[in-house]
């Protein structure tokens, strides 16, 4: 359970209706299997000890007594096992019959959670047999000297991981207008288990899945749904064992229906708690819950869940296309509003032939089209310098002409040489002054052209560069409106590619594809043999790693050790699909550089121009990242050192 990962299981045993002895044995077999899989929380279906389909046999004392005995024996079978197990059974109490979920651990019955919403419609007639459960816990005498709390308001908390709080609801509870899990979550529960017996109908699986995903998202929780299988199928109903495990709206594991398939996944409790802390509207105000603590050993959970190596980029092509169109719309609509508000008829864009400036120009063209303004009002300025190559220059010129914008060329070399003479900078010294002098000269040109034409400078820098401080202060760092300011580098590439795929211009597509194929570079150092000599990712590290670090640090608030662990899983494990790209040593090296740069370069982000927020991660000092410019990185670096390979 290191780093807050908890392995959970939704299990459907093969059962016989009304045969508690057989069912007990099958449940114990599945518990043994779950132990081999090192599952910590194991959930069985509703009424699985007796079977859900017993009908009026629920009125038989024999069935109820044998069910209780089977429960005690299953509980005893959990002794020495590092897990919390939920099983379902009918239980008589004070003249009523209750459909309950029993929580078992360490050989004990910890508590009983009764079903609160009892269906009595269509094929369901539970109201004939069962009583709606109480919320406030009562003490139930199960056997001699065996008293157990029963009630809806119970939370199960392991002593080794007190931040994990588990609560239960049963089948129909989640289908009701006010599911008990809402109250559970407001009381602190971050893992909801649902013991279910949901029969199969055409199309019902889609709705059932949407309920589980939606509830886990609404409550920012893990949700484990275990449903009855074919052993329950009798008379007019068929059950499919549609087991599901979801986390905050994302389905982590889903069983193939009609197979009685056990499923496993690791929930990230630390991530869920972090999300809740950020949501000021997630106000826990439920005080009348009883927490039942039980013992578990703290063990490291082996990660088998998929860790997305590109968290900013949707994996599925259809979703990726939709995301790209949405982001381009947000960017262009933001610029459109700024142009309208300032009554500006001219936009000035520095165009280099690189990815970021290409995207900024494409967004500006969209904004002008939305306003019904002629594209000739876009002044695209190419400013060749000491590091400009023929390839990027040609792409910049051809792109502007293809889009119908106004091209202006200003060679900066002579002006920079004059500046170097003024400050005593040797042109042969390719230091930071040599580089930044060119960047600031370009920004001065853009600003002055904007003044001359009564226009505004559209910024091109992306969020990944801002996170690393890979921008010249008061150089490319500055503009009147930064359209790419919250777009990470890994997504910039997909946005340009999407534009190339959808622009209906073979010439433009060809140019954009060549831009995409060009190494990322500021081109501030002289080329070698006509080729780019200064490759950004050789200097600051791969952007796919930095975007991964950025997402997990800002979006999820994870510490450096956990980020390193996830990065190793994402980029080093071949079974994670994105794996085997880097070694742990390489990941460690670049994460260390990321932390140092992220903290030391905040002063550049503290004075950023306006720009449209397009995703859940942004670095604007007015919104998402209100970070002191002089904060120390030492704690983060010290914790990362614990992971040194």
Q: Do 24 and 115 lie in a common domain?
A: yes
pLDDT at residue 235, as a whole number: 79
Asked if residue 20 is part of any domain, the answer here is yes
Whether 578 has a pLDDT exceeding 70, the answer reads: no
Which residue among 279, 294, 309 closes a domain?
294
Asked if residue 300 is part of any domain, the answer here is no
CA within 13 Å, CB half, 507: 8
The C-alpha torsion from 397 through 400 and 402 to 404, rounded to 10°, is: -140
Whether 111 has a pLDDT exceeding 90, the answer reads: yes
State the pLDDT confidence band at 10, using cuts at 50, 70 and 90.
very high
Which residue among 294, 325, 356 closes a domain?
294
Q: Strand locations in 420-563, DSSP E?
A: 456-459, 481-482
Q: What percent of the chain has pLDDT over 90?
A: 90
State the pLDDT confidence band at 577, using cuts at 50, 70 and 90.
low
Residue 228 belongs to domain with CATH number? 3.60.110.10
H helices present in 345-427, as ranges? 355-371, 390-403, 413-423
State the pLDDT confidence band at 82, using cuts at 50, 70 and 90.
very high
Burial of 39 (0-12, 13-18, 19+ CB in 10 A): buried
Q: Do 109 and 179 lie in a common domain?
A: yes
Q: Do 258 and 346 lie in a common domain?
A: no
Q: Do 341 and 259 lie in a common domain?
A: no
Q: Give kind and range of the element (H or E) at residue 373.
A: none
Q: What's the structural domain count of the chain?
A: 2
Q: What is the mean pLDDT of the chain?
A: 95
Q: Do 227 and 350 lie in a common domain?
A: no
Over residues 228-241, the pLDDT tens digits come to 998 887 778 899 99
> Which residues, other chains included, contact 65 with Cβ-Cβ below 8 Å and sequence gap of 6+?
none
Contact 270, 558 (CB under 8 A): yes
Between CA 306 and CA 308 the distance in angstroms is 6
Q: Do 120 and 159 lie in a common domain?
A: yes
Q: Do 408 and 553 lie in a common domain?
A: yes
> Which residues, other chains included, contact 82 with Cβ-Cβ below 8 Å and sequence gap of 6+?
35, 38, 40, 296, 297, 299
Nearest to 515 by CA among 492, 537, 545: 492
pLDDT at residue 579, as a whole number: 64
Whether 150 has a pLDDT exceeding 80, the answer reads: yes
Nearest to 309 by CA among 54, 95, 572, 96: 572
Q: What percent of the chain has pLDDT over 70?
A: 99
pLDDT at residue 172, as a whole number: 95
Between CA 306 and CA 135 the distance in angstroms is 37
Whether 103 has a pLDDT exceeding 90, the answer reads: yes
Parallel, antiparallel, or unpaired: how do β-strands 84-93 and 96-105 relate? antiparallel
Determine how many CB atoms are found less than 10 A away from the CB of residue 75: 23
Between CA 50 and CA 58 the distance in angstroms is 9
Residue 479 belongs to domain with CATH number? 3.40.50.620
Asked if residue 305 is part of any domain, the answer here is no
Parallel, antiparallel, or unpaired: how do β-strands 138-143 and 378-382 relate? unpaired
Asked if residue 583 is part of any domain, the answer here is yes
Whether 118 has a pLDDT exceeding 80, the answer reads: yes
Between CA 161 and CA 297 the distance in angstroms is 9
Nearest to 16 by CA among 228, 174, 176: 228
CA distances from 205 to 93, 209, 240, 242 (A): 34, 6, 9, 8
Asked if residue 176 is part of any domain, the answer here is yes
Q: Do 249 and 335 lie in a common domain?
A: no
Q: Do 237 and 105 lie in a common domain?
A: yes
Asked if residue 299 is part of any domain, the answer here is no
pLDDT at residue 16, as a whole number: 96
Q: Which residues are catalytic?
A: 46, 115, 171
Q: Do 138 and 265 lie in a common domain?
A: yes
Q: Do 281 and 323 lie in a common domain?
A: no
Over residues 463-503, the pLDDT tens digits come to 999 999 999 999 999 999 999 999 999 999 999 999 999 99
Contact 39, 266 (CB under 8 A): no
In this prediction, residues 330-338 reach a mean pLDDT of 98
DSSP string, 267-323: EEHHHHHHHHHH-TT--------EEEEE-----PPPP-S---S-TTS-SSHHHHHHH
Q: Do 508 and 574 lie in a common domain?
A: yes
> Which residues, other chains included, contact 461 with Cβ-Cβ below 8 Å and sequence gap of 6+?
356, 471, 476, 477, 482, 484, 485
In this prediction, residues 511-531 reach a mean pLDDT of 87
In this prediction, residues 70-85 reach a mean pLDDT of 98
State the pLDDT confidence band at 390, using cuts at 50, 70 and 90.
very high
Token pair belonging to 613: 């927020």
Over residues 163-212, the pLDDT tens digits come to 999 999 999 999 999 999 999 999 999 999 999 999 999 999 999 999 99
For residue 632, the enclosing domain spans: 317-641
The larger pLDDT score, comparing residue 235 to residue 572, is at 572
Over residues 585-619, the pLDDT tens digits come to 999 999 999 999 999 999 999 999 999 999 999 99
This prediction has a pTM of 0.91
Asked if residue 588 is part of any domain, the answer here is yes
Asked if residue 61 is part of any domain, the answer here is yes
Over residues 337-386, the pLDDT tens digits come to 999 999 999 999 999 999 999 999 999 999 999 999 999 999 999 999 99
Nearest to 284 by CA among 183, 161, 162: 183
Over residues 528-554, the pLDDT tens digits come to 877 876 777 888 999 999 999 999 999
């Amino acid at each position: 359970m290191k780093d807050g990962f908890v392995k959970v299981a939704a299990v459907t045993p093969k059962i016989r209706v009304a045969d508690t002895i057989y069912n007990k044995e099958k449940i114990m077999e599945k518990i043994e299997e779950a132990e081999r899989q090192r599952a910590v929380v194991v959930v069985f279906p509703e009424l699985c000890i007796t079977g859900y389909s017993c009908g009026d046999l629920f009125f038989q004392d024999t069935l109820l007594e044998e069910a209780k005995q089977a429960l005690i024996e299953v509980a005893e079978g959990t002794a020495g096992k590092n897990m919390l197990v939920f099983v379902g059974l009918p239980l008589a109490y004070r003249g009523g019959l209750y459909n309950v979920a029993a929580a078992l651990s360490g050989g004990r019955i910890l508590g009983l959670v009764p079903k609160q919403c009892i269906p009595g419609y269509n094929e369901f007639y539970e109201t004939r047999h069962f009583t709606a459960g109480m919320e406030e816990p009562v003490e139930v005498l199960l056997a001699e000297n065996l008293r157990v709390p029963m009630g809806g308001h119970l939370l199960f908390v392991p002593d080794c991981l007190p931040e994990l709080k588990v609560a239960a609801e049963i089948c129909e509870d989640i289908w009701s207008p006010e599911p008990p899990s809402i109250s559970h979550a407001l009381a602190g529960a971050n893992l909801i288990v649902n013991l279910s017996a949901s029969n199969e109908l055409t199309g019902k699986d889609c709705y059932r899945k949407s309920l589980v995903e939606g509830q886990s998202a609404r409550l920012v929780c893990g949700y484990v749904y275990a449903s009855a299988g074919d052993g329950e199928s009798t008379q007019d109903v068929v059950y499919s064992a549609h087991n599901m495990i979801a986390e905050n709206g994302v389905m982590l594991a889903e069983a193939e229906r009609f197979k009685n398939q056990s499923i496993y996944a690791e929930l990230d409790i630390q991530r869920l708690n972090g999300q809740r802390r950020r949501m000021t509207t997630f106000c826990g105000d439920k005080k009348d819950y009883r927490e039942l603590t039980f013992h578990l050993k703290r063990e490291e959970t082996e990660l088998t869940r998929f860790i997305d190596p590109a968290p900013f980029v949707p994996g599925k092509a259809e979703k990726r296309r939709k995301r790209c169109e949405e982001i381009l719309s947000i960017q262009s609509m933001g610029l459109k509003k700024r142009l309208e508000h300032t009554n500006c008829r001219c936009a000035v864009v520095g165009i280099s032939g690189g990815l970021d400036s290409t995207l900024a120009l494409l967004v500006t063209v969209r904004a002008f089209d939305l306003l019904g303004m002629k594209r000739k009002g876009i002044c695209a300025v190419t400013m060749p310098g000491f590091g400009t190559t023929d390839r990027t220059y040609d792409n910049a010129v051809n792109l502007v002409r293809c889009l119908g914008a106004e091209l202006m060329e200003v060679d900066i070399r002579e002006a920079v040489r004059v500046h170097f003479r003024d400050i005593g900078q040797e042109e042969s010294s390719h230091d930071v002054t040599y580089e930044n002098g060119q960047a600031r000269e370009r920004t001065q040109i853009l600003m002055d052209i904007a003044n001359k034409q009564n226009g505004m400078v559209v910024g091109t820098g992306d969020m990944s560069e801002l996170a690393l401080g890979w921008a010249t202060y008061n150089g490319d760092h500055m503009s009147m409106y930064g359209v790419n300011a919250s777009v990470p580098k890994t997504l910039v590439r997909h946005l340009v590619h999407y534009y190339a795929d959808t622009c209906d211009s073979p010439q433009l597509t060809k140019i954009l594809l060549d831009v995409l194929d060009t190494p990322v570079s500021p081109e501030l150092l002289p080329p070698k043999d006509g080729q780019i000599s200064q490759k950004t990712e050789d200097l600051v590290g791969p952007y796919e790693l930095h975007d991964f670090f950025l997402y997990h640090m800002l979006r999820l608030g994870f510490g450096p050790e956990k980020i390193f662990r996830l990065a190793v899983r994402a980029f080093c494990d071949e079974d994670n699909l994105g794996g085997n790209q880097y070694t742990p040593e390489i990941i460690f090296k670049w994460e260390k550089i990321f932390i140092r740069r992220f903290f030391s370069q905040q002063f550049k982000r503290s004075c950023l121009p306006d720009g449209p927020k397009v995703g859940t991660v942004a670095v604007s000092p007015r919104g998402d990242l209100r970070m002191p410019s002089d904060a120390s990185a030492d704690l983060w670096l010290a914790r990362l050192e614990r992971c040194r390979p």
